[in-house]
């Protein structure tokens, strides 16, 4: 049986002007609580996850103060990170904050990046910095050894996204897997140790509302090779399930690019027409 210890704490503790003694007391209490938990669940301990839900109506300056507070508490809890069973995770609220954290991690990537893309909403026009970051990482002298992206063929705007990805990564070790399957979460694994799990939540009643909805409503960010290993297995199973086509950008150039995009266009037309008919 796996046991995860969640320690919630109020976002108000990080507001400016809060008594420093209060925060120090909280840190002390967290340490004591974890020590006691570890003592009583020694054989079953699997992880500890501190989290804080950030209100969407917070102003940006308060939001940054809050995130700094999260990092501060995670540093305190990481005193115990010599235990291989401990997992430290961060809760990230909202699409903009999720992409901001993701972009920062991608910029630091050294070895590999694995991503999934299942939401039907278009990312190309909404998160240009994300695509620019990918391009910079792949064009740099310290290019990551491999970049894999699973993309569900479930919206015509995805074709534009794929077109841009391929064009930006001609000759690079960037692989795109076109899939018939879509899931209600998306994952990103960086350097086989940092994992982002994105969740989408929408009560859209029509196509327009769906298009305007957030791609990511909440994200969990883990830093643990042990957790990453499990999600690499999940990623590989997705990569092997219902894949329609694999695009190896390393094998493409300007001459073969148009031919590949024509094939992908036919795939999109066929899959989307079948969805309409069904």
Evaluate if pTM is beyond 0.85.
Answer: no
pLDDT at 1: 37
What the chain holds in terms of domains, given with CATH numbers, is 1-92 (no CATH), 94-278 (3.30.870.10)
Pick the residue with more confidence: 161 or 63? 161
Q: Of 60 and 163, which is predicted with more confidence?
A: 163
Q: Stretch 18-27: mean pLDDT, rounded?
A: 60
Residue 172 CA to residue 162 CA, distance in Å, equals: 15
- From the number of C-beta atoms within 10 Å of its C-beta (0-12, 13-18, 19+), residue 183 rates as middle
At 213 the three-state DSSP class reads coil
Distance CA 14, CA 229 (A): 34
Considering the chain, what is the average pLDDT of its residues? 76
pLDDT in tens, 23-72: 566 666 666 666 665 666 554 444 444 443 333 333 333 433 343 444 55
pLDDT tens string 67-105: 344 455 445 444 444 444 445 667 788 888 899 999 999
């Amino acid at each position: 049986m796996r046991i995860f210890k969640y320690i919630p704490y109020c976002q108000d503790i990080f507001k400016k002007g809060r008594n420093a003694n209060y925060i120090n007391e909280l840190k002390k209490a967290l340490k004591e609580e974890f020590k006691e938990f570890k003592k009583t669940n020694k054989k079953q301990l699997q992880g500890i996850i501190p989290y804080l839900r950030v209100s969407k109506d917070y102003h940006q300056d308060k939001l940054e103060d809050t995130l700094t507070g999260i990092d501060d508490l995670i540093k305190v809890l990481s005193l115990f990170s010599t235990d291989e069973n401990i997992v430290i995770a961060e809760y990230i609220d909202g699409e903009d904050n999720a992409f901001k954290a993701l972009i920062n991690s991608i910029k630091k990537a050294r070895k590999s990046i694995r991503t999934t893309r299942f939401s039907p909403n278009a990312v190309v026009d909404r998160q240009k910095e994300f695509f620019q970051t990918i391009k910079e990482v792949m064009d740099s002298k310290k290019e990551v050894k491999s970049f894999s992206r699973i993309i569900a063929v479930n919206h015509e705007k995805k074709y534009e996204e794929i077109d841009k990805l391929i064009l930006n990564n001609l000759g690079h070790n960037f692989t795109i897997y076109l899939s018939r399957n879509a899931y209600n979460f998306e994952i990103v694994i960086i350097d086989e140790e940092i994992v982002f799990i994105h969740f989408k939540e929408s009560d859209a009643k029509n196509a327009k509302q769906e298009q305007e909805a957030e791609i990511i409503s909440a994200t969990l960010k883990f830093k643990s090779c042990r957790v990453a290993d499990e999600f690499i297995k999940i990623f590989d199973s997705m990569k092997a399930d219902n894949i329609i086509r694999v695009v190896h950008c390393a094998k493409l150039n300007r001459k073969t690019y148009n031919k590949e995009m024509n094939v992908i266009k036919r795939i999109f037309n066929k899959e989307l027409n079948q969805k309409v008919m069904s």
